[in-house]
Structure formats: structure tokens, C-alpha cells
A and B are shown apart, each in its own frame.
Chain A
Amino acid sequence: QVQLQQSGPGLVKPSQTLSLTCAISGDSVSSNSATWNWIRQSPSRGLEWLGRTYYRSKWYNDYAVSLKSRITINPDTSKNQFSLQLNFVTPDDTAVYYCARGNCGTTSCWGFDYWGQGTRVTVSS
């Protein structure tokens, strides 16, 4: 059974960096059939895909166009986890952040079959 366990602070100051981690159990961040995604949800924006990392003989990243200048998603193979960094945050980045797996082998790269528990992040001074 795949489990995704999120960790990270719930409060970030404006202009600082939001950092979250998603620890994977039951699968590997280096899997050749999975993608590892970050998605956020807020009342104003609804659900919004932020980006992903995945391994296909080498590491790849894709990011939402609107965030490309501020976002980094990195795998950590030693800890079997992946992380999200969002720079220069504003109150508009306040949301519940989720990590999620895209299962290209069984379901769909774009149907996210396992999700973390969510982390409510507030951007405020």
C-alpha cells in the first residue's frame, strides 16, 4: 500500500520560501512508472497543479507556467522522498498543499491515485 506523508511548516512569512517534503512508502521516488506531483487547493484558486518530478533513466521536472520562476521540486533518493520549494511567497500562496502520485503504469500519469494528507500553509507576517 502506497503512503505519502507530508511534513513542513504551516506558516510562512511573505517574501520567504515555502518548503514541504513528501515521504514515500510502498513505492520508490525512482520508479520508472510513477510521477511525483505537488498540487494545492484554496477557496480562490480551487485545485491547482504545481509541478512534478519523475525518473525515466534520468530525472525530469515539469512546472506550472504561472509558477515556473519560483518553484523547485527535487527528489531525494536517499530518503525516498521529494520536496517542494516555492520562493517569494505572497498571501495568494496560502492554500492546502498536497503531494500526489501519478501512476503511469496502472492508471494514468494524469490521474493521481495516492495523495498525502495535505498541509495547510498560511502566508502571513
Chain B
Amino acid sequence: QSALTQPPSASGSPGQSVTISCTGTRSDVGGYNYVSWYQQHPGKAPKLMIFEVSKRPSGVPDRFSGSKSGNTASLTVSGLQAEDEADYYCNSYAGSNNFVVFGGGTKLTVL
């Protein structure tokens, strides 16, 4: 069982927006601004999409945005495109004992 809780699935039509949540505790998500989000296509390695809650690495479209409120972080994908269909995972720094925890992943379907 993963430390961070994500919905198993999410969906939206092309052009729409979808938000995926990632719920932890004050020992991880709520305690640090070190939440990252990853996109993973089948058979591929995860790709970093968001780091430090809301920052995008170079090359990631601005359709991807992140935010956090309390113990819950969120990833929003705006203007959904077919290629956004993938699994999405969050992770968070969890202190100097546990270091890093991941969410269980959300399968995003573009209808």
C-alpha cells in the first residue's frame, strides 16, 4: 500500500481539464514543498512533469500545473490531448527517516 493516496483513475475529453489529487500527511505532503509529479506511458520510465509543488522542468508544456493545499497536492492537466493518456504518480519528501514516498498512481484516460 502506497504512502500517498491517489484516485485509481481519472478521465476527460480532449480540450477539457482534469485534476488528480495526491493526499498525504503533515509528515510528507503537508510538511514540505517537495511534491513532484510524473507521467508514465506503458513500458516506459516515469517522466518528471512537476517539481516543488508547482514548478515545471524545461520542456514540459504549461498545460500541466501543480498546487498544494494542506496535506493534498494536485496536478491539473488543461487542454487534454490524446498523448496525455498515461499513468500519473506523485511523490513527496518525507523527512530524514523515510526520505521519499510515492502515490499509488492514477490512470488518466482521454475519452
Residues from chain A with a CB closer than 8 A to the CB of B30 are none
Determine whether A15 belongs to the interface, using a CB cutoff of 8 Å to chain B. no
Among the listed stretches B14-22, B44-52, B69-77, which one makes contact with chain A, having 4 or more residues with CB under 8 Å of it?
A: B44-52
Chain A residue nearest to B104 in the complex (CB): A46
Q: In the complex, how many angstroms separate the beta carbon of B84 from the nearest chain A beta carbon?
A: 19
A48 to B51, CA, bound (A): 18
Q: Does A19 contact B (CB under 8 A)?
A: no
- Which DSSP category, helix, strand, loop or mixed, fits chain B's interface? strand
Which B20-55 residues sit within 8 Å CB-CB of chain A? 34, 36, 38, 45-48, 50-52, 55
Give residues 95-125 of A contacting B (CB, 8 Å): 98, 100, 107-113, 115-118
With A65-B97, A65-B98 known as contacts, the answer to whether A107 contacts B45 (CB < 8 A) is: no
Q: Is the CB of B89 within 8 A of A64?
A: no
Q: Is A55 an interface residue (CB 8 A)?
A: no
B65 interfacial by beta-carbon distance below 8 Å? no
Decide: B48 and A47 in contact? CB cutoff 8 A. Answer: no
Known: A46-B2, A46-B105. A110 touches B45 (CB 8 A): no
Query: Within the complex, what minimum Cβ distance (angstroms) separates B86 from chain A?
Result: 14
With contacts A107-B51, A107-B55 known, is A115 near B99, CB below 8 A? no
Interface presence of A27 (CB below 8 A): no
Nearest Cβ in chain A — how far from B104, in angstroms? Answer: 5
Q: Whole-angstrom distance from the CB of B21 to the nearest CB of chain A?
A: 16
Bound complex: CA A64 to CA B3 (Å): 13
Please name the residue on chain B nearest to A52 by beta carbon.
Answer: B99
A71 CB to closest chain B CB (Å) equals: 13
**B96's closest neighbor in chain A, by CB?**
A62
Question: Which A residues lie at the B interface, using CB under 8 A?
Answer: 45-49, 52, 62, 64-65, 98, 100, 107-113, 115-118
Show 8 residue pairs from A and B whose CB-CB distance is below 8 angstroms, ordered by the A residue.
Answer: A45-B2, A107-B51, A107-B52, A110-B36, A110-B91, A111-B36, A117-B45, A118-B45
Sample of 4 further A-B pairs with CB below 8 A, known A47-B91, A49-B102, A52-B99: A46-B89, A46-B104, A64-B98, A113-B57
The 7 closest A-B pairs by CB, nearest first: A111-B51, A115-B45, A111-B36, A49-B100, A47-B102, A108-B51, A110-B93
